[in-house]
Amino acid sequence: MYDSKRLKELIVEVMIKISGVASIFIVAMIFLFLLKEGIFLFKTYKPLDFLFGKSWYPISEPAEFGILPLILGSILVTLGAAVISVPLGIAAAIYIAEIAPPRLKEILKSGVELLAAIPSVVLGFIGMVTVVPWIKSTFHVSTGLTALAGSVILAFMAMPTIVSIAEDALHSVPKIYKEGAYALGATHWQTIYRVVLPAASSGIMAAVMLGIGRVVGETMAVMMVTGNSPSMPRGILYPVRTLTATVAAEMGETVQGSDHYFSLFAIGIVLFLITFAINMTADLFLHRKR
Amino acid sequence: MPKNKIFINGILAGVLALMVLAGPACAKKGDSLQVKGSDTMVNLVQSWAEEFMKKNSDSFIAVTGGGSGTGFAALINGTCDVAMSSRQIKAQEVGLAAKKGVTPKEFKVALDGLAVVVNKDNPVSGLTLDQLAHIFTGKITNWKEVGGRDAKIVILSREVNSGTHVYFKEHVLLKGDTKSTAEFSPEALLLSSSQAIADEIIQNQDAIGYYGMGYIGKDHKALSIAKDASSGYVYPTVDDVLSGRYPISRPLFIYTQGEPASDVKNFLDFILSNDGQAIVARIDFVPIKK
């Protein structure tokens, strides 16, 4: 009796353990796979030329695999999205957590979650037919397929992450802090601005970082609206090409085992490292809170 | 505890082995004929397949896109029986195939005229190949240099994964000269589909792009192209592509593994028959014979 119970216990324990380590194991395998494929590029191509080269002509003879324009393109689009989504997202989180009446609060929360459920290709399509022509006519540029279009669409994708995590952080600020502020005669807004926001700041930073992490890795919507020209970015109103769009667009046709193929995996490594760093930063902020 | 760990590792190894084994095993299905490759040709080959299956009810043909390179990779790895391609197989791919004991055999099955298109309000109606090359490499940047209005030219191109992009580069930019170092202007917008180019052409008065002549709609204006200033401008029509008078047209290919046999041979015979070639014309490609 006792033994069979013990065995059951052991089996359950092992199963749970496997589930627990599975995701870490898979991440490690993915990274090793990327590394294994991407590393071949550097047999023939210098890592510095790869990271800081200014031209991306993967199918020319000789091919050039400089990803600096792509890295800058990703950064530009991401920064633009952050500038739009961070103030909006935090303001929305403050409203939902502190000001909105309970009923409206529930509606707003599910609304934000709904926004997260829209597939990125749908957002990209909507951007292509609304944001892109709008940018062209408003800013009188030769084409609306620009970094700005990507930023606007991505801001919508980052919003749900930022709002829901920041709202959680604001919500978990102990009630006594607020009561203390009121007792000192602070107004509602003063309490939010001087007490609640600073108390929740590390959670809010984590929300921002996770939102940005989502933006960096996004592919489909960006590919549809940014124009994808691999020139060095000159501003938010010019077309740019991002790292993710490059991999997605070029994987289909490359000769497997060619330098071009390996270079796409090398881009994968760069992307992996960027998102890893962003998530780590978010994690640091989250832990500081506790 | 160490025993536990060994147990866990054993299970993990088992799961991994299963994943590795399952991958290639389920790629090839029963008796069906797998066709894979060029996105340009998916509709064409699908129509052939449907007509062929109507006549031979016991055979089943599955057609998937992914790009010409994907098709070759699948043919080489033995996960498809027939590859469709809008470019010729590269020496590198033939080498890879030989290593795996595969000898791809080439069949020319149709022609595709590449139309150069502009917005219907653009006053320019014809260009020479030289002008075209200069526009796409970024030497000519304003429409007034080729007789249009004073506006910056917005270059639209397909992504580098597209057989169409490769063809346009080799035959318009490089003019067949493999030593030439001409490149698409880094300012060129790289769009992910012919439809995306068609949509942008409708919206943008200053845009110029290219795609298969099947895509020419009533809101686009296809340009007449001249080989050089002294020869006449030719509009892309089926007759002029077939006669070779229209200068930018390309062959479309089917590749089989070795000499085609049984179902593959029947399918190819059908494609090259009068019935098969009638289908080519129906979906706006150019038959190889009349």
Average pLDDT score, chain B: 83
Report how far apart the first and last C-alpha atoms of chain A are (Å, whole number). 44
- Count CB pairs under 8 A between chains A and B: 106
Closest A-chain CA to B142:
A142
Give B206's DSSP letter. T
Chain B residues lying within 8 Å of A18, measured CB to CB? 8, 11-12
From residue B78, alpha-carbon distances to B68, B93, B101, B103, B256 in Å are: 15, 14, 10, 11, 11
Residues of A engaging B, defined by a Cβ cutoff of 8 Å: 10, 14, 17-18, 21, 25, 29, 55, 57-61, 69, 128, 132-133, 136, 142-145, 223-224, 227-232, 239, 241, 249-258
Contact B113, B224 (CB under 8 A): no
Q: What is the DSSP string of B18-71?
A: HHHHHHHHTTS-SSPEEEEE-STTHHHHHHHHHHHHHH-TT--EEEE-S-HHHH
Question: So what's the pLDDT on residue B160?
Answer: 80
Alpha helices in A118-230 (DSSP H): 120-126, 132-139, 147-171, 175-183, 188-191, 197-199, 201-217, 220-225
Domains B32-110+252-282 and B112-249 share a fold: yes
Nearest to B84 by CA among B125, B134, B31, B46: B46
Question: So what's the pLDDT on residue B25?
Answer: 38
* Overall fold of domain B32-110+252-282: D-Maltodextrin-Binding Protein; domain 2 (3.40.190)
Contact B204, B172 (CB under 8 A): no
Least confident stretch, A249-263, B126-140, B188-202 = A249-263
Q: How far apart are CA A158 and CA A86, in angstroms?
A: 9
The residue ranges of chain A whose pLDDT is under 50 are none
In this model, does residue B180 exceed pLDDT 80? no
Q: Is the dihedral of CA A61, A65, A68, A69 positive or negative?
A: positive
Question: So what's the pLDDT on residue B27?
Answer: 40
Taking the CA of residue B71 and the nearest CA in chain A, the distance in Å comes to 9
Answer with the residue of higher pLDDT: B229 or B97: B97
Q: How far apart are CA A35 and CA A41, in angstroms?
A: 10
Place of tokens 């706006």: B284
Pick the CATH number of B112-249 from 3.40.190.10, 3.40.50.720, 3.40.50.1110, 3.40.50.880: 3.40.190.10
Question: So what's the pLDDT on residue A51?
Answer: 92
Q: What is the ipTM of this complex?
A: 0.71
pLDDT, tens digit (0-9, with 9 covering 90-100), for B49-102? 999 999 888 888 999 887 788 888 889 888 888 999 988 888 888 988 888 888
Question: So what's the pLDDT on residue B29?
Answer: 42
pLDDT, tens digit (0-9, with 9 covering 90-100), for A201-219? 989 999 999 999 989 989 8
Which residue among B161, B200, B203 places its CB closest to the CB of A249?
B161
Nearest to A145 by CA among B134, B211, B156: B156
Give how far the C-alpha of residue B170 lies from the chain's centroid of Cα atoms, to the nearest Å.
Answer: 14
Q: What is the DSSP string of A105-142?
A: HHHHHHHHHHHHHS-HHHHHHHIIIIIHHHHHHHHT-S
Question: So what's the pLDDT on residue B11?
Answer: 52
Question: So what's the pLDDT on residue B1?
Answer: 40
Q: How far apart are CA A167 and CA A161, in angstroms?
A: 10
* Domain spans, chain B: 32-110+252-282, 112-249
Q: What are phi and psi of A234, to 5 degrees?
A: -110, 0
pTM for the model stands at 0.77
In this model, does residue B280 exceed pLDDT 70? yes
Percent of chain B with pLDDT over 90: 28
As beta bridge partners, residue B208 has B118, B155
Does the distance separating the beta carbons of A257 and B8 come in below 8 Å? no
Question: So what's the pLDDT on residue A259?
Answer: 87
In this model, does residue B244 exceed pLDDT 90? no
Q: Which two tokens stand for residue A167?
A: 């709202």
Question: So what's the pLDDT on residue B224?
Answer: 92
As beta bridge partners, residue A87 has none
Question: So what's the pLDDT on residue A289?
Answer: 55
Place of tokens 């991002």: A242
Pairing, β B189-191 against β B154-158 = parallel
pLDDT, tens digit (0-9, with 9 covering 90-100), for A111-127? 998 988 889 889 998 99
Does the distance separating the beta carbons of B206 and A55 come in below 8 Å? no
Helices (H) and strands (E) in chain A, counts: 15, 2
Question: So what's the pLDDT on residue B9?
Answer: 52
Question: So what's the pLDDT on residue B3?
Answer: 47
pLDDT, tens digit (0-9, with 9 covering 90-100), for B11-43? 545 554 444 444 443 344 446 889 998 877 888
Q: Dihedral (C-alpha) A236, A241, A243, A249: value to the nearest 10 degrees?
A: 150
pLDDT, tens digit (0-9, with 9 covering 90-100), for B149-171? 899 999 999 888 677 888 888 88
Percent of chain A with pLDDT over 70: 98
Question: So what's the pLDDT on residue B88?
Answer: 86
Does the distance separating the beta carbons of A255 and B96 come in below 8 Å? yes
Question: So what's the pLDDT on residue A257?
Answer: 78
In this model, does residue B255 exceed pLDDT 90? yes
The predicted model gives B217-228 an average pLDDT of 87
Question: So what's the pLDDT on residue B215?
Answer: 76
Q: How far apart are CA A138 and CA A133, in angstroms?
A: 8
Does the distance separating the beta carbons of B11 and A143 come in below 8 Å? no
